[in-house]
Amino acid sequence: MNAMNLIAVKSLVPVVVIEDAAKALPLAQTLFDAGIQSIEITLRTDAAMDALETITKASTGLAVGAGSVVSPEQLIRVQAAGADFAVSPGSTSRLLDEAEKQRFPLVPGAATASEVMNLLDRGYTLQKFFPAEPLGGLAMIQALAAPIQSVRFFPTGGINASLAATYLRDPSIHCLGGSWFVPKASLAAGEFEAIARLAKEAQSIALSAAG
């Protein structure tokens, strides 16, 4: 299945770094209750795999993605853990080959015209653009999409509430990743009411942009 079919168009995807797997399930439920439809759990901590598996086994209603997947071995692990899709900051032939072999939905990353075109040649219409703001933000995405109109982007990195609506209104943006509405300090402290409020505010931005 194509990852584009798992991530709603013009949606916000929380990109989450989880240090304590015990926080995973209440976080997932908080986000789902706020109207969020998918989540990307980055493989940057020792707790990430346990958190991923906890959420997928609980059937929270979220489409669960594994982020920062950079090797075939990681791809196999997240698939076994029950992830619905994987996201990578870039791509390698080995990673793409494994995703195609496993028929596992992957959002590979691209930051140049050649990278975008090479991924399109392999059938990847949805591509990650990371780190979005340091690479030129929406202006760079628009420059890439102008001559390569079949690509759709999933930008993450440096995007905040004040930028989100502008990104989401652009026709080349399929979805948008962000972490501003799941602050690390709030998650570490278990402040799920605060996260719920920020997530609802973020979701209202997405709904407004989609409308």
pLDDT 10s digits, 60-104: 999 999 999 999 999 999 999 999 999 999 999 999 999 999 999
What mean pLDDT comes out for the span 30-35?
A: 97
Distances (CA, A) of 167 to 53, 152, 211: 31, 12, 14
- Proportion of the chain above pLDDT 90, given as a percent: 96
* pTM for this predicted structure: 0.96
Bridge-based pairing of strands 152-155 and 175-178 is unpaired
The model's pLDDT over 111-136, given as tens digits with 9 standing for 90+, comes to 999 999 999 999 999 999 999 999 99
**Interaxial angle between packed helices 72-80 and 48-58, expressed in degrees from 0 to 180 and rounded to the nearest 10:** 40
Closest CA to 113 of 96, 134, 135, 81: 135
Enumerate the active-site residues. Answer: 40, 128
